[in-house]
Amino acid sequence: NIRIVLASRPQGEPAAENFRVERVPLPRPAKGQVLLRNRWLSLDPYMRGRMNAGRSYVAPIEVDAVMEGGTVSEVLESLHPEFEPGDLVLADGGWQTHAVADGDTLRRKLDPQDAPVTSALGVYGMPGFTAYAGLHEIGKPRPGETLVVAAASGPVGATVGQIAKLRGARVVGIAGGARKVAHLRDDLGFDVALDHRADDFAEQLKAAVPDGIDVYFENVGGHVFDAVLPLLNEFARVPVCGLIAHYNDSAPPEGPDRLPQLMGLALARRLTIRGFIVFDFNKLYPEFLREMGAWLRDGKVRYSEDIVEGLENAPQGLIGLLRGENFGKQLVRIA
C-alpha cells in the first residue's frame, strides 16, 4: 500500500514538505469489511482546513495520519454480504492506493451505465449535492431573481449556476481568467460571466446586476464578497458554503474593520446569511440523486474535470486547486 500522510501542518499555503509518501503493508479486512483498491481520488478545498489543528466542524487530520479524501474504489476482497470483488463504490478511501472500509459506511455502489463513475466525486456527488442542497434550503432562487456565484467553473459553483438557471433565475458567474469566463458563458449558458482578477471587477459586477442581487452563493469571501455586499437586495439570501480566499490565511486581514458595514446591511436589508455543511441536508440526498441523474442524462447539467496523473502528484494538485489552477472538478487518477 502506498499512501500520503500529513508530515507537518502548513503555515499559509501548503508546500510539498507538508506531505510524505509512505509504503506500508496491505491492510487486511475483518468481518463486515472490504478491501478496496482506490482508483480515483477527489481533491477538495476542505482538505486545507483539515490540515490545521483546532476546532472545526470535523476533527483535524493528525500529523503522520493518512490524508483523507473521497474515492472511487474497486472492491478487491469482501467480508460484507452486500459487496463482491469487482464492485465499484463511492468511498472515503483517502490518499492511498488501498484501504479497508466497513461495508456499512460505503456511500453507494457505482454503475458505469448510470453515469461516468468519476462524476460521483463531483457534480453527481458531494460537491453537486452541496450546490443542490444549499440552493434548496437557503438560496431558494425564484424565477426572474438574480443569483451570483464565484468559483463558478468548479464543481460546486458550476452546478449552482446551472441549477439556478433551471429554476428560472438570472445567473452571474465569477471565475479567474479568460478561459474559465468563456466556459461559463459559452458552455454553461450563464447570463453574465466576470473575471474577478480584472482591475475594475467591482464596477463590472455592479453593471451586471441592474436589479441588485437576490441570492449570493458564497464560495470564496475576499474581494468578491466585498464587491457583492453593497449590491445585495432587501431579503437577499446568502448560503455561506465556503471561503476559499481565506483558507491559506495565517493572520487576520489588514485594513479597516468592516464588521459594522456587514452587520448594518444584514440589519437594514434583512439579509439571511446562513452557513451550512453539506451533510446537514442528508435527507435530500435521494431526491438529489434522482433529479441530478435526470439532468445529467438529458444534458441539462454539464460538468468538467481536471485530472492529475498519479497519487504522488496529489499534493501539487491540492496546492494548485487553492490557487485556482484547476479547470473543473480536480481528480487524481491513481495508477
Judged by the rule CB under 6 A, the positions of this chain that interact with ligand NDP are 44-46, 127, 130, 150-151, 153-157, 175-177, 180, 196, 219-220, 222, 224, 241-242, 244-245, 276-278, 321, 324, 326, 330
Q: How far is the CB of 85 from ligand NDP (least distance, A)?
A: 31
Residue 91 in grid coordinates: 468511498
Nearer to ligand NDP, 119 or 153 (CB): 153
Q: How far is the CB of 77 from ligand NDP (least distance, A)?
A: 31
Do the beta carbons of residue 244 and residue 323 sit within 8 Å? no
Secondary element (H or E) of residue 332: strand 329-333
Q: How far is the CB of 80 from ligand NDP (least distance, A)?
A: 28
Nearer to ligand NDP, 89 or 149 (CB): 149
Nearer to ligand NDP, 97 or 219 (CB): 219
125 phi and psi, to 5 degrees? -145, -145
How far, rounded to the nearest angstrom, does the alpha carbon of residue 98 sit from its chain's CA centroid?
Answer: 24
Nearer to ligand NDP, 48 or 98 (CB): 48
Nearer to ligand NDP, 103 or 317 (CB): 317
Secondary element (H or E) of residue 273: strand 272-275
CA dihedral 333, 287, 153, 108 (to 10 degrees): -10
Tell which residue, 125, 106, 104, has the closest CA to residue 115: 125
Q: Rounded to whole angstroms, what are the CA distances from 237 to 43, 248, 270?
A: 28, 26, 9
Q: How far is the CB of 123 from ligand NDP (least distance, A)?
A: 10
Q: How far is the CB of 140 from ligand NDP (least distance, A)?
A: 17
